[in-house]
Copies of this chain bind each other. A is one copy, B any other.
Amino acid sequence: MRYSLEALQTYMKRWGWDIAVVSGSDPHGSEYTPQRWRLREFITGFTGSAGTVVVTQNSSGLWTDSRYFLQAEQQLANSGSVLHKEKPGNQTWSEWIAEYCATQGKEHVVIGVDGMCHSYSQIDELKRSCPNATIVSSPDYIDPIWTDRPALPKDKVWILGIEYAGTGAAEKLSALRKVMARNGCSAALISDLMQIAWLLNIRSNDVLHTPVVISYCLVEQDRVVLFADPDKFSTDILDYFGKTDNFELHSYYGISDYLKEYNVGDGIMLHSKTLNYHLYSILQSKCPDRIVDMEMPVNMAKAAKNPTEISGFRQAYLFDGIAQTRFFKWLEESVSNGKKVSEADAAAKMSSLRALNPQYIDDSFGTISAYGANGAYPHYDYSVAKKETYLEPHGLYLIDSGAHYRCGTTDITRTVPLGELTDQERFDYTIVLKSMIGLSMAVFPEHTAGARLDCLMREPMWRCRLNYGHGSGHGVGHLLSVHEGPQGIRQDSNPAEFVPGVVMSNEPGIYIEGKHGVRHENMLLCVEDCRNEYGTWFRFDTITRTYIDTTCLACGILSQEELAWIRDFNRICIEELSPYLEQSEIEWLLTKTK
């Protein structure tokens, strides 16, 4: 990997760049990207899903979050790049650049970026923090260096039927157009792949585990222009769109030229936080007065699931509950009988059990299958580990996995004992459960943002002077990305308010380097609770249906109320799963939840 970094540095000299920034994202701001845009990995060797790389002639730094600290340290060893940990109080990559600029004693530092792979607001912020730097946006600057760079995916596009989507594209477009009109916009340019897939009810296979279609979508009051590879669209699908809307398909790479010639009309809705710098700048230089910079209403609409999506989600978690019960039974029997089971074997078994379901499409992300000390890497990837790890009949095993079923998407983490546990393992197992239950039982008024609920999960740990660096909860898309916004439960402030229909993970954890990791993750559905003189109240309905192992709880940590919550949760799981399980499976489940 060292080769790519040095090659970039050689080209930087040629271009006169002091700094190159590698966003690691794609032109759509995606967290999970097609192979073609995995520049972060290409330059540093780091395979995590988040991070920014800053390269100078004599340094290369990767900024990433706590989920990846341990993995990044390993993968960056001897790579020529060093790890900068993103956490409160630490310097951010843009602060690092600002300091670098200030201390170079040069009149003008030249910063090269791929303007397609940064949002407009990211680059705008960089400009503000480095007022004397010259920022050069060079789309696809990596091309001459990455000689065997993968092409765009060719898989066909398919339609998610109304029986799963619940709402047709025409209805979704109509709602969007109303908001456009209210904001004086004759057009809206959407670049977020999940938003486009949701809006048009289209899916494909363009990003690993994320069934989106690489595209941009320009919505006008009486026309939809989709920029995507035309080879991906069958005649059937074009017919389908022809029926519902005035639909045009243009080439994916043609968008820059199209926008240069485009007649914006009254106004165009763009979102500077998601649209890439290159495209935003084209419109910004043409008609700054006619840009309405706002979050696409599609984003909020997508997050609040409709009744069809909600019942699909519920069904998907039932499917998962069946597959996971069988998996954990198999795992316990295999490991205690001395069968050789590696982390990879376990992950494969989990996938294969899910795949038995006829609605199964794909896993929703790469399974995190981590035994013992490997569990301390919050986003552990067994496939890049130095050596294969085999599960033993003691200690904790953590599996974070999920699937796309035709009806919905799952994401669930369970940490289970494979035999004897240490006192610390029992304690950590239980305190993480206490944190998860804290959010599960929450009741809160309308207009509450996720950041405000975060400490309900953290305070039980904080009292023990324990913490975790990752977020507490993320939204989950419906056959889209397993991570979606705008709502989130995180330490950083996020003003997006909960509304009924939002599906949100609930996943506290504890990570003890060299020893073990514990994470429990359930999925929550935000529902209306009641209305009274204080306004409207919301609460969460847990939709996960995989049991919680109660055989290894530490005493004295959980309150009576919390213990009752676990009993109720397990009772519901068993009731709903029993019709689909064999008698021996039910009996086994009863021993795990007694």
Q: Which residues of B contact A424 (CB under 8 A)?
A: none
Query: Quick check: is A453 within 8 A (CB to CB) of the other chain?
Result: yes
Q: When the two chains form their complex, are residues A444 and B465 in contact, meaning their CB atoms are under 8 A apart?
A: no
B495 touches A465 (CB 8 A): no
Taking A455-B453, A456-B455, A495-B493 as contacts, is the C-beta distance between A465 and B537 under 8 angstroms? yes
Which B residue's beta carbon lies closest to that of A468?
B534
Give Cα distance in the complex from A453 to B452, angstroms: 8
Chain A residues 434-484 with CB under 8 Å of chain B are 441-447, 449, 451-456, 458-459, 462-463, 465-467
Is A121 an interface position by the 8 A CB rule? no
Contact (Cβ within 8 A) A467 B88: no
Q: Tell me how far the C-beta of A67 lies from the nearest C-beta in chain B, rounded to whole angstroms.
A: 15
Tell me whether A103 is interfacial, beta carbon within 8 Å.
Answer: no
| Interfacial chain B residues near A444, Cβ < 8 Å | 455, 458-459, 462
Q: Are A530 and B462 in contact (CB under 8 A)?
A: no
A308 within 8 A of B: no
Contact A462 B441 (CB under 8 A): no
A447-B88, A559-B559 in contact; A441/B463 too (CB < 8 A)? yes
- Expressed in whole angstroms, the minimum distance between the Cβ of A155 and any Cβ of chain B is 42
Q: Which among B452, B453, B456, B459 is the interface contact of A491 at CB below 8 angstroms?
A: B452
A89 interfacial contact with B, CB 8 Å: yes
CB distance from A32 to the nearest CB of B (A): 29
A532 within 8 A of B: yes
Nearest CB in chain B: distance from A517 CB, A: 14
Neighbouring B residues of A88 by C-beta, 8 Å? 446-447
Number of interface residues of A (CB under 8 A): 33
**Which residue of B is nearest A491, CB measured?**
B452
Q: Are B537 and A451 in contact (CB under 8 A)?
A: no
Q: Is the CB of B532 within 8 A of A465?
A: yes
Copies in the complex: 2
Distance (whole angstroms) from the CB of A21 to the closest CB of chain B: 26
From the candidates B441, B451, B465, B532, name the one contacting A493 in the complex (CB within 8 A).
B451
Known A-B contacts A452-B454, A455-B452; A462 and B446 likewise in contact (beta carbons under 8 Å)? no
Measured CB to CB, the closest approach of chain B to A44, in angstroms, equals: 26
Q: How far is the CA of A463 from the CA of B538 in the complex (A)?
A: 10
B contact residues around A451 at 8 Å (CB): 451-452, 493
Say how far A69's CB is from chain B's closest CB, in angstroms: 12
> Measured between C-beta atoms, what is the minimum distance from A523 to chain B in Å?
21
Q: How far is the CA of A350 from the CA of B299 in the complex (A)?
A: 56
Bound-complex Cα distance A233 to B300 (A): 59
Name A530's contact: one of B445, B463, B465, B530 (CB within 8 Å): B465
By a CB distance below 8 angstroms, the chain B residues around A447 are: 88-89
| Residues of chain A in range 140-191 having any CB-CB distance to chain B below 8 Å | none
B contact residues around A441 at 8 Å (CB): 463
Indicate if the CB atoms of A466 and B89 lie closer than 8 Å: no
Which chain B residue lies CB-closest to A444? B462
Q: Within 8 Å CB of A534, what residues of B? A: 465-467
CA distance A91 to B451 in the complex (A): 23
Among A441, A452, A466, the one with the most B-chain Cβ atoms within 10 Å of its Cβ is: A452
Closest to A454 in B: B452
CA distance in complex: A447, B456 (Å)? 17
How many angstroms between the C-alpha atoms of A473 and B378 in the bound complex?
Answer: 35
A89 partner residues in chain B, CB cutoff 8 A? 446-447
Q: Complex Cα distance A449/B451, Å?
A: 11
Nearest CB of B to A529, in Å = 8
Bound form: Cα–Cα A445–B454 in Å? 13
Taking the closest CB of chain B, its distance from the CB of A66, in whole angstroms, is 11
A447 to B90, CA, bound (A): 11
Give the Cβ gap from A488 to chain B, nearest Cβ, in Å. 14
* A455 CA to B537 CA, complexed, in Å: 14
Provide the residues of chain B in CB contact with A493, threshold 8 Å. 449, 451, 493, 495
Most buried by B among A458, A495, A532, A559: A458
Interface centre among A89, A445, A465 (most CB of B within 10 A): A465
With A and B bound together, what is the CA distance between A242 and B467 in angstroms? 52
Tell me the A355-371 residues at the B interface (CB within 8 Å): none
Q: Which 3 A-B pairs have the closest CB atoms?
A: A88-B447, A467-B534, A443-B462
- Please report A residues at the B interface, Cβ cutoff 8 Å: 88-89, 441-447, 449, 451-456, 458-459, 462-463, 465-467, 491, 493, 495, 529-530, 532, 534-535, 537, 559
5 interchain pairs, CB-CB under 8 A: A443-B465, A445-B462, A451-B493, A452-B452, A452-B491
